[in-house]
């Protein structure tokens, strides 16, 4: 009762007494003056002490419980929540730091500046600690000893032949049987998408994308003056009826799709939907750009087939493969496999972009692949990510308020959430940044950026401890926002018809 004796409530303050009491107890908790699992004073006793009705105390305890600050034991009383005290994070008060770190204008350009102790759910890029630096150093040294100055020559624009051969073998494991000429090395998938846009799109051409979609691709298509049409995603992939309708109306040059663990939603297309899309493209004589940034990270999906593996004649799908999520993004290495009619156009676009991807790195990657070190590394990454993935699912189930909807992915690194209508992801973003947690507001992933209710959390850059801590912090902010709305609803003046 010690700390509670100093609480003062003012009847003439114009604020409900129960709100004043709730705030006063919350302050005690935030200042860590109450210890975890400490029992709050019994309702009647505290009411007497403060000279208020029992209901005032009941209401105050109720809000604290909704916010996860306290919990009730049947027949025993109300106690301080242990989880909350463990995870109270310091507020960042310096406005300059907040602006620098989390400025929405920076994040809208696809970047975020991360402070050392920040929990980074915003970027879907693996942590540097996971990079196989020693193994890669070994292959780099070996290449330098073996190839000397040739390692620093211009490499042929299509890519270093032994690496292309190794990749053709690698994709066979995923049932993609492609000709060596169809494979083009690229400096990352982003460049791949960009040269596809350059090679295939003329001003005013239409591209169909998923709604929501990957920002980097949208930016590339926009830069070519393309008209971008979006089609909603449902549980098992793109809405196929709407897709067909829009194909008929707009006759797009191609569809840009991520059929496995889509970015940002984590949705995977069902096998039958993948087959239907291939058939639609045959029927309407249309191409697909398949962005396979992540199908390797399959934890619980029955089917992570690529569209490319269903394109048995190799004439519909341009397959773009990134290694950034499972290997080292800074290498800027990836590849694409295209139908033969595009070989020359793509090669020309690649050449005019950067002549060739670094020969030294291509040679090192080839050794890394053929040694089998790659396979070991992928197994290691899978294990790491799976543990983070499971922790994320558990934490969401345990802490996230039930008013928040989310898509349960079967693999990958992204989790997609929908807030109740009245709560804005922008506000959530700003409050989370103040608590050292970064997330990606959903508007970034929509072509007109007009969404205000979604947000994406990625587990790529966070460890298990941070995942749980971060989810508790985000959940508490959302609970607070929900409570604010409920409270303002309570105080609202009501207008009734005069009857
Ligand atoms: C869906 C998707 N495609 C492509 C890329 C670009 O990958 P890369 O680093 O290989 O250029 C990203 C990067 O985040 C992505 O999320």
Q: Give per-residue pLDDT as tens, 34-46.
A: 888 899 999 999 9
Do 82 and 99 fall within a single domain? no
Residue 34: the pLDDT is 85
Question: By C-alpha distance, which of 2, 302, 369, 15 is closest to 159?
Answer: 369
What residues flank ligand 1, with Cβ below 6 Å?
124, 188-190, 214, 216, 258, 263, 291, 293, 322, 324, 329, 334
Residue 11: the pLDDT is 85
Note whether residue 319 is domain-resident: yes
189 C-alpha vs ligand 1 centroid, how far in Å?
A: 5
Distance in angstroms between the alpha carbons of the first and the last residue of the chain = 51
Strand partners, 458: 414
374 C-alpha vs ligand 1 centroid, how far in Å?
A: 19
Helices and strands (DSSP H and E) totals, the chain: 18, 16
Do 40 and 114 fall within a single domain? no
124 C-alpha vs ligand 1 centroid, how far in Å?
A: 9
Nearest CA to ligand 1 atom 2: 293
Residue 48: the pLDDT is 92
Q: How many CB atoms lie within 10 A of CB 493?
A: 4
> Radius of gyration (Cα) for the chain, nearest Å?
27
Do 389 and 473 fall within a single domain? yes
Mean pLDDT across 405-414 = 95
* CATH number of the CATH domain containing 412: 3.90.1150.10
Q: Give per-residue pLDDT as tens, 425-446.
A: 999 999 999 999 999 999 999 9
**Is the confidence at residue 240, as pLDDT, over 90?**
yes
Strand partners, 335: 185, 321
Do 220 and 108 fall within a single domain? no
Query: Where a domain ends, among 370, 387, 412?
Result: 370
Do 125 and 107 fall within a single domain? yes
Query: What is the token pair recorded at 121?
Result: 């759910």
Question: What DSSP string describes 305-360?
Answer: --HHHH-TTSSSEEEEEE-TTTS-GGG--EEEE--GGGHHHHHHHHHHHHSS--HH
Distance of CA 389 to the CA centre of its chain: 12
Are 413 and 85 a contacting pair, CB within 8 Å? Answer: no
* CATH number of the CATH domain containing 67: 1.10.10.10
Note whether residue 499 is domain-resident: no
Q: Give per-residue pLDDT as tens, 88-129.
A: 444 544 444 444 444 555 555 556 666 667 999 998 989 888
Maximum separation of any 2 CA atoms in the chain, in Å:
94
Residue 453: the pLDDT is 94
Tell me the C-alpha distance between 35 and 81, whole Å: 9
Number of domains in the chain: 3
> In the structure, what pLDDT confidence band is assigned to residue 448 with cuts at 50, 70 and 90?
confident
Domain that holds residue 228: 156-370
Share of the chain above pLDDT 90, in %: 70
Residue 489: the pLDDT is 64
Q: How far is CA 239 from CA 140, 209, 210, 299, in A?
A: 46, 11, 9, 24
Residue 402: the pLDDT is 95
Mean pLDDT across 160-169 = 97
297 C-alpha vs ligand 1 centroid, how far in Å?
A: 14
Tell me the C-alpha distance between 179 and 131, whole Å: 31
Of residues 53 and 450, more confidence is placed in: 53
Note whether residue 149 is domain-resident: no
Residue 97: the pLDDT is 41
DSSP 444: G
Query: What is the token pair recorded at 315?
Result: 């004439």
Nearest CA to ligand 1 atom 7: 189
437 C-alpha vs ligand 1 centroid, how far in Å?
A: 23
Tell me the C-alpha distance between 320 and 196, whole Å: 10
- Token match 């007109």: residue? 448
Do 403 and 481 fall within a single domain? yes
Q: Give per-residue pLDDT as tens, 379-407.
A: 999 999 999 999 999 999 999 999 999 99
- DSSP-derived 3-state class of residue 134: helix
Question: What DSSP string describes 103-120?
Answer: -HHHHHTT-----TT-EE
Residue 70: the pLDDT is 86
């Amino acid at each position: 009762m010690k700390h509670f004796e100093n609480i003062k409530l003012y009847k003439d303050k114009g604020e409900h007494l129960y709100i004043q009491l709730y705030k006063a107890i919350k302050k005690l908790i935030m200042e860590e003056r109450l210890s975890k699992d400490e029992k709050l004073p019994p309702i009647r006793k505290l009411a007497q002490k403060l000279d208020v009705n029992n209901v005032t105390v009941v209401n105050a305890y109720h809000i604290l419980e909704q916010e996860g600050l306290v919990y009730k034991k049947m027949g025993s009383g109300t106690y301080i929540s242990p989880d909350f005290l463990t995870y109270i994070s310091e507020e960042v008060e310096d406005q300059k730091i907040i602006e620098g770190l989390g400025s929405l204008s920076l994040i809208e350009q696809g970047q975020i500046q991360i402070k050392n102790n920040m929990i980074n759910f915003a970027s879907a890029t693996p942590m540097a600690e996971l990079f196989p630096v020693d193994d890669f150093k070994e292959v780099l040294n070996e290449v330098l000893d073996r190839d000397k100055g040739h390692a620093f020559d211009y490499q042929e624009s299509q890519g270093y032949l032994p690496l292309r051969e190794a990749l053709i073998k690698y994709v066979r494991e995923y049932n993609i049987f492609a000709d060596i000429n169809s494979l083009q090395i690229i400096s990352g998938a982003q460049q791949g998408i960009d040269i596809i846009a350059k090679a295939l799109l003329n001003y005013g051409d239409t591209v169909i994308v998923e709604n929501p979609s990957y920002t980097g691709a949208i930016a590339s298509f926009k830069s070519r003056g393309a008209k971008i049409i979006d089609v909603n995603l449902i549980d098992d992939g793109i809405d196929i009826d709407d897709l067909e309708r829009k194909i008929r109306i707009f006759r797009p040059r191609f569809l840009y799709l991520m059929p496995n663990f889509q970015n940002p939603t984590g949705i995977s297309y069902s096998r039958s939907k993948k087959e239907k899309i291939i058939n639609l493209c045959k029927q309407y004589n249309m191409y697909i750009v398949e962005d396979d940034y992540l199908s390797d990270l399959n934890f619980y999906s029955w089917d992570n087939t690529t569209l490319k593996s269903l394109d048995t004649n190799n004439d519909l799908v341009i397959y773009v493969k990134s290694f950034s999520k499972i290997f080292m993004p800074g290498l800027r290495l990836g590849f694409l496999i295209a139908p033969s009619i595009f070989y020359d156009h793509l090669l020309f676009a690649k050449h005019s972009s950067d002549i060739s991807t670094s020969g030294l790195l291509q040679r090192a990657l080839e050794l890394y692949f053929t040694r089998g070190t790659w396979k070991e590394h992928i197994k290691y990454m899978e294990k790491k990510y799976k543990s983070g993935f499971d922790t994320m699912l558990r934490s969401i189930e345990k802490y996230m308020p039930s008013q928040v909807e989310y898509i349960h992915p079967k693999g990958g690194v992204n989790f997609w959430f929908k807030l109740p209508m009245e709560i804005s992801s922008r506000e959530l973003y700003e409050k989370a940044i103040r608590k050292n947690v970064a997330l990606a507001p959903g508007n970034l992933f929509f072509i007109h950026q007009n969404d205000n209710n979604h947000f994406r959390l990625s587990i790529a850059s966070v460890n298990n401890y941070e995942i749980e801590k971060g989810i508790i912090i985000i959940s508490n902010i959302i609970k607070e926002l929900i409570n604010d709305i409920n409270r303002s609803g309570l105080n609202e003046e009501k207008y009734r018809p005069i009857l």
